[in-house]
Each structure stands twice: as structure tokens, then as C-alpha cells.
Structure 1
Amino acid sequence: MNIAILPARGGSKRIPRKNIKTFHGKPIIAYSIEAAIQSGCFDRVIVSTDDSEIADISRKLGAEVPFLRPDNLSDDFATTLDVMKHAIDWCEKQQLCVKFVCCLYATAPFISPQYLQEGFTLIKSEEFDYVFSATSFAFPIQRAIKITTQGTIEMFQPEYLNHRSQDLIEAYHDAGQFYWGTSEAFINRKSFFSSRSKAVLLPRKYVQDIDTQEDWELAEALFKVLK
């Protein structure tokens, strides 16, 4: 059995009620639920939440909410791996034989069934713990600068000051959309970032982290242009 798990607690502070806030006409969690269902990869699409309103909305959108997450896994200190392990443990107690699991973030309106399918093909055909979405940095990270306590500028890696951009190794970052993994990897809290992981590369235009109101506004503007 393959399952999707969407962590969606109710206590978002920087953007209140973020997981069900309206994004271009529907709750933002709808985009992740719809992509999961349309991908055809999952036997069950489960939302892990502590919030009854999120649970009701998620059910109406076609997901299951077979349990409410306990308070100790719904505060600011609970990790994604904690939440995933709890959900997988619940499935095992129901005698569900879970082989592959996909963590889908609830605030990922650019998520695509196509890339979920690509990730599923990789995780089931090769010996990886995880396959997750990633994208490239828009600027060479070797040229990154910092502002000191005195307000002056320093390079993090000054040894690359005179290197041509095309000679620098391209760098990538987690796109924050989905994480395919084996049930065993999630249960044992294995690291996402290791030689046992592989990335599904997304175009940068489909990636926008949403943590602040400014992020939200940028995502809405980008979505309008793309869609």
C-alpha cells in the first residue's frame, strides 16, 4: 500500500490559519490533496491535523482524516518526521501494510501530479530511502555575502571571488513540496539529505516557500501568471 500524508496543524502563527487560507479561490491545502488524488499514486490520502475545521475541509476535498493528531505533535517543536512516524504507526495499528509513503506539504499550490509520479517511479525502482522535490539556486551560493555586526560586507567563501560563474558547481535546495520515502526510512527518522536520497528537479518558477505574508503575496502573483 502507498499512502500520502499531509501534515496540517491548526496553529500557524506567522500566517494565521495558513493551511486552509483561501488561495486563488480555494483553501490552499486543496492543491496538495487534488494533486495527490490526480496522480493515481496513492491508495489513501491522509491529512494529519489537530484541528477540526481543517479536518472537515480536508474530508470535503476528498482526503481522509481518520485520527486527530495529539497536542504534543502539534506545537512549534514537533518535526515533520515526528508527525510522519505517528501517522505510519497509526496505519500499522490498523494492520495496513504500508510500503511507500509520501509527505506532502499543505501549502504547496504549485505541486504537480506529474512530479509526484516521477518521484514514485524513482522510489520504487531504485534503492533509495527518499526521493524529494528540489530546485536550483538562482545565484551561485559560492558568491554569498553576509553583513557583519559592524554593518560591513564579507563573503562566506572569498576564495571564489575571481571564479567565473560558469565554473562554479551548481547548487540546489529542497523545494518544500513532497518527500517520497520508504515506510522504514520515515519510522527510523532517517535523514532526508544523504547519499540514500535522490531529487526530482523542479523548474524554479514552480517553487515558492510560503512562511510569511510577503511569501504568500508573491506566490499568489506567480500563480496568477503561470495559471
Structure 2
Amino acid sequence: MIVAVIPARGGSKRIKNKNIRPFAGKPLISYSLTAAQQAAIFDDIIVSTDSDDIAEVARDHGATCIIKRSPTLSDDYTGTTPVVRDAIEQYEKLSGSKVTYVCCIYATAPFLSSDALLAGYHQLTQAPAAKFAFSVTSYAFPIQRAIKIVGEGVEPVSPENMGARSQDLDECYHDAGQFYWGTKRAWLDQAGMFKAHSCPVVIPRYLVQDIDTHEDWIRAELMYRAYIKDNEND
């Protein structure tokens, strides 16, 4: 069985009801659910939540299984891996089926595409030693030339790199926060995401935006509307 797991906690502090708040006219979580459906690779699309409201919206937009998350996995400090592990274990008990591959998809990824999900699956399954495959994107500026504020002034983080040309520095990437493919065993064993056994799936920067604050939300909606309009004009 190949399943998607979408963690969607109800207690968002900075943006109330973030996972089901209307984003460009539709509940935010619906974009992740739609991408998962369009990939046409998942036997079930699971939403792990502690909220009845999120569960109802998720069912209306394509979730095929709701996993009720316990309060101990619904606080501000619980990471993604324990939630995915719990969803795998509960799902196998409920369905009587054995899971092979799991894709954790964040509920706050309106730019996620089915093509990216499929690319992640193919990378994971075609690399013999791979345990995970997840979305990454490049930094817009060389991080080797980062500066930090010290008192009322600034100083470089890596003074030796301040005079280097951009093209002479290694391009660096960060987690794009969209999806995380993994084998069932890798999730259950907590094998670790940011290691050599993880394959990067590179996403263009214009399709990546964290949504943690109201400012993030406004920026993401502006980006999304511009992206959709540009595609409609092609």
C-alpha cells in the first residue's frame, strides 16, 4: 500500500484555523488533497487531525481516511515524524493492510503539484539506498556571505567568504516544506531526513512559500494568484 499522510492540527496559534482557512477561495488543506488525488498513486489519502472541523473539510475535499490524533501528539512541540508513525500504525490496524511507502504532505502547501509528488516517489524507489525523498529549494542569495547584527553594527558569519564571487560558492538548498516520501521502515525507525540516504527533489523558488505568519499568508496568496494568472495566459 502506498499512502499519503497529511498532518493537520487544529490548534494553530499565529493564524487561527490555518489549515482550513480560505486561501484564494478554497480551504488551504484542499490544495494538498487535490495534488495527492491528481498524482493517482495513493491507495489512501490520510489526514491526521485532532479537529472535527478539519476532518469534515478534509473528507469534503478528497481525504479517504481520517486518523484521530491524540492530545499528546497535538501540542506545539510534537514533530512530524511521531505523527506520521502514529498514522501508519493506526491505519494498518484499521485497514488490515500493510503499508510500503508513505508520503507526508503538509497541509500548508498550495503550490504543491502532482508532478513533484511523482518525481519524489520515483527518486525514492529508483535509488537503491534511499530511505527518503523530499522537496528542497535553493537559497536566493549565497548563504556563505550571510551577515549578522551585532549590537548596532554587523559582522559576517564567514569572513573568509565575503570577497568570493557568487559563482565560486556552492549553491545551497533548504527544506521546501511541501512533502516527504519515505519507506515505512524509515518512518518507523526514525531514520532521519537530512542525511545522505535522502534524495532531494528540487522545487523552483517561485513555487515555495512558508505560511507561518499573516505576512506569509498575504505573500503566498499574491504569489499564487500571479502564478495562476500567468498559467491561464499561456
TM-score above 0.5, yes or no: yes
1:131 matched to which residue of 2? 133
Please give the alpha-carbon distance, in whole angstroms, between the structure 2 residues aligned to 1:85 and 1:154.
Answer: 43
Code of the residue aligned with 1:135 in structure 2: it is: T
Q: 2:148 aligns with which of 146, 149, 170?
A: 146
Structure 1: unaligned runs, 5 residues or longer:
none
Specify the SS of the correspondent of 1:66. strand
Asked if the contact 2:67/2:91 (under 8 Å) is kept, the reply is no
Q: Quote the offset at 1:8 in angstroms.
A: 0.1
Q: Quote the offset at 1:113 in angstroms.
A: 0.3
1:67 matched to which residue of 2? 67
Asked if the contact 1:58/1:65 (under 8 Å) is kept, the reply is no
Please give the alpha-carbon distance, in whole angstroms, between the structure 1 residues aligned to 2:47 and 2:135.
Answer: 20
1:121 aligns with 2:122: yes
**Count of aligned pairs between the two proteins:** 226
Q: Quote the offset at 1:65 in angstroms.
A: 3.6
Please give the alpha-carbon distance, in whole angstroms, between the structure 2 residues aligned to 1:60 and 1:31.
Answer: 12
How big is the alpha-carbon RMSD for the aligned residues of Structure 1 and Structure 2?
A: 0.8
2:156 matched to which residue of 1? 155
Please give the alpha-carbon distance, in whole angstroms, between the structure 2 residues aligned to 1:112 and 1:133.
Answer: 11
Structure 2: unaligned runs, 5 residues or longer:
229-234
2:231 matched to which residue of 1? none
What TM-score do the two structures reach when normalised by structure 2?
0.95
Code of the residue aligned with 2:24 in structure 1: it is: H
Please give the alpha-carbon distance, in whole angstroms, between the structure 2 residues aligned to 1:177 and 1:124.
Answer: 19
Asked if the contact 2:55/2:66 (under 8 Å) is kept, the reply is no
What TM-score do the two structures reach when normalised by structure 1?
0.98
Q: Provide Cα deviations, 1:38-92, integer angstroms capped at 9, x if missing partner.
A: 1011000000000000000100111034331000000101110010010011123
Q: Quote the offset at 1:191 in angstroms.
A: 1.0
Please give the alpha-carbon distance, in whole angstroms, between the structure 2 residues aligned to 1:77 and 1:36.
Answer: 27
Asked if the contact 2:46/2:67 (under 8 Å) is kept, the reply is no
Asked if the contact 1:55/1:65 (under 8 Å) is kept, the reply is no
- Percent of residue pairs identical: 49
